[in-house]
Structure 1
């Protein structure tokens, strides 16, 4: 390839995909004389004309990842007029997927960015759940979207993680008679606090299994019915004081409990769940 070539990347989003593909393609040629110019958020025909006016003065190629049909057609037509090669990166794969799935694409710009934002939100929520698990740091109560309280083995941690995957920042706080409930709990919006209880027999079974897994005697006070009932009674008093929603998780899967919480959040805060 003799002389410089300028690759113009046009996108109705940020244009990263087009740039990476263009660079990968150019790397197959024995040249370092190339330039990639990226034009993100192209949404008007006037922008396209301005870019083509610039491109016609150079040895150039247009590469575009625009999914809005009107703009895509405009680029194809105008590039022909300006005698500039234009490559549509998205249409071939969109057409192939449409053939397989049997319905048309959304043709909505910026969807991959939205997906990325959702992904990072989820990662942040999971990290939050880990950091503020089991009352490790009560400062998390103030920052949390949802706060779970309950005695040991009422599914607080798995429920926190499940809700984190729904992009909610969750702090969970164990309630133990010998340890005063953190003051931050009583300062939290009660609509964001959920108390978890279970019947004593069910907790007894779960705690015995837990002790067995740890190689400890299942006769420990932790798993005794009397101790469990004492803890439950204490936790119910705290929940009553908090005036929070109480959910009995005895015979509920984590997904079912999460579903109840999400419904209540939606009822309390609307479709954005207060986030």
Structure 2
């Protein structure tokens, strides 16, 4: 069982998040650090501050040296897949090959309505997501990419320079839909991230993933399984560590510890100790 941290870029400052990630870089127990891809806060006042995901990752890549970095997860509806591929390649280069490329179909109706971003019906959204993932992989791995999907069309497209990691940064797909999401995980992901209510619910989903892998001829052992565990600032850290241990016993590979809102670097040392 391995560990990561996640910082919520809402109602906080760039300096606060930067200092947490720099501090986490010094604790070997944390293998990766994550943010999220939203434009509005998900709690409290929607007019509050919320830092943009990918520009943060580029800066955090420069501020850190060891820890792997990623967005959990980047909404495919927010950026054309070709744009996201170019951004990801650049961030992987800036980080010297430490990027985890997290992607999801997208879901936030409030943000889409406010910004005039189309949020298609669920089936179309996942059709677009499937095409987008394939287009991104093509751009990151092929000298030129031609892709003629229903929604994504590339014609002899370049994406240069290529990322440091080959064939491409690990694809992390987030979600728990048993049909479309877990089928996409089985086809293309190197990591599957889920937010579940309990280890029992996670086990049920993992069984579905194993079935989806069998359907496409994929070894499920090739896919890192990660879950998020939220730290409640009103409870002792030991409570979150117990939850993490329960997921580890269920078979989860990577536990992402969601730090309390506006947490500072001082939370990391006690957290590292209880997890160890």
TM-score normalised by length of structure 2? 0.29
Taking CA–CA contacts closer than 8 Å with sequence separation of 6 or more, which of the two structures ends up with the larger relative contact order?
Answer: 2
TM-score normalised by length of structure 1? 0.29
Larger radius of gyration: 1
